[in-house]
Structure 1
Amino acid sequence: MSAAATDTPAADLDAVVAGGESLIGMATLGKTAAALALILVIILVATAVLRRWGLPHQRHGRHLRVVGSAAVGTKERVVIVEVEGSWLVLGVGGGQVNKLHDLPAPVDAGQDTSPGGPGFAPGDAFATRLAKAIRHNAGLGGRDPS
């Protein structure tokens, strides 16, 4: 009987050690799967953010610039494109591009003439612009008399 009693605790100890090793293996596998899932989530979120913000496209044709466009139908658009100092009015739709009109580009078309905000003068310092913006947003008067 004493031999059977000594074999049982040793067998129980072996079973506990084997069970502990399998638990450690499962924990390692779980951690690896969680890390992989986290990496996939980060990739998907980064893709969605970049798609929403719009990726900067490589500009192969530096002489071509889209000035504006407007939808005319479900698949048709009118697009104004600037090409080397002239504007082309194009009809785009149904797999076709048709030139509707061409005209010289205005001189100030590429320049932004707006000073940048409420009552801003082109030579204003940052502190002056900040003060004007705070006053404008607080509703305390849009323009500074100075």
Structure 2
Amino acid sequence: MSETTSPGASASGLESLAVGSDALVGLATLGKTAAALALVLAIIFACSALLRRWGPQRRAAGGQLQVVASTAIGSRERVVVVEIANTWLVLGVGGGQVSKLHELPAPAQPEATAPGATGEGERFAARLARALKHNAGLGGPDRGTP
């Protein structure tokens, strides 16, 4: 038996190979495009999360409301200090509700450090050590000898 190849049969084989190759190239391009889009979206979400976490504190309600401090009490509960119209409100936030805990006038400037404090403020450990020495009668400039 002799195999004869006709020019038409050979051409149709090449055409089917070319069509399959074009489909693979198209899928590869689509995959690369989808990966690039996913990367751009991930970068956008990461940047927005960073800005929310470390961004400057914004004033809401026309610049009259500012969160002064906030701390977590439990998994869903927080205590928040809010300044509005030169008044600090201490609010308890949790369980889908907000409760006013205390109200006090806002200080004119940040709290001053204790007398005798140096620099930006004294560390707790240094103040505790000084207080323990003072209470034990071990020293201090104002302590006299008997």
- Give the TM-score normalised by the residue count of structure 1: 0.58
Deviation at 1:92, TM superposition (A): 1.9
Distance, in Å, in 2 between the alignment partners of 1:88 and 1:48 is: 32
Residue 23 of structure 1: aligned partner: 21
Structure 1, unmatched stretches of 5+, are 110-117, 119-146
Residue matched to 1:123: none
Deviates further, 75-84 or 57-66: 57-66
SS in 2 for 1:67: strand
Structure 1 21/91 Cα, relative in aligned 2: closer, same or farther at 3 Å?
Answer: closer
1:35 corresponding residue in structure 2: 33
Q: 1:50 aligns with which of 19, 31, 48?
A: 48
Give the Cα–Cα distance (whole angstroms) in 1 for the partners of residues 13 and 75 of structure 2.
70
1:7-63 alpha-carbon deviations (Å, 9 max, x no partner): 524311331133123212321232123212221222123213321332769754121
- Give the corresponding residue for 2:80: 79
**Aligned pairs for 1:1-146 within 5 A:** 5=4, 8-54=6-52, 59-61=59-61, 62-109=63-110
Amino acid at match of 2:18: G
Residue type at the aligned position of 2:12: D
**3-state DSSP of counterpart to 2:6:** helix
CA root-mean-square deviation: 2.8
Q: For the Cα contact (< 8 Å) 2:90–2:103, is it kept in 1?
A: yes
- Distance apart, 1:87 and its partner CA: 0.7
1:113 corresponds to which residue? none
5+ residue gaps, structure 2: 111-118, 120-146
TM-score (norm 2): 0.58
Identity, in percent, stands at 34
Go from structure 1 to structure 2 and tell me whether the alpha carbon gap of 1:74 and 1:17 turns closer, same or farther (over 3 Å shift): closer
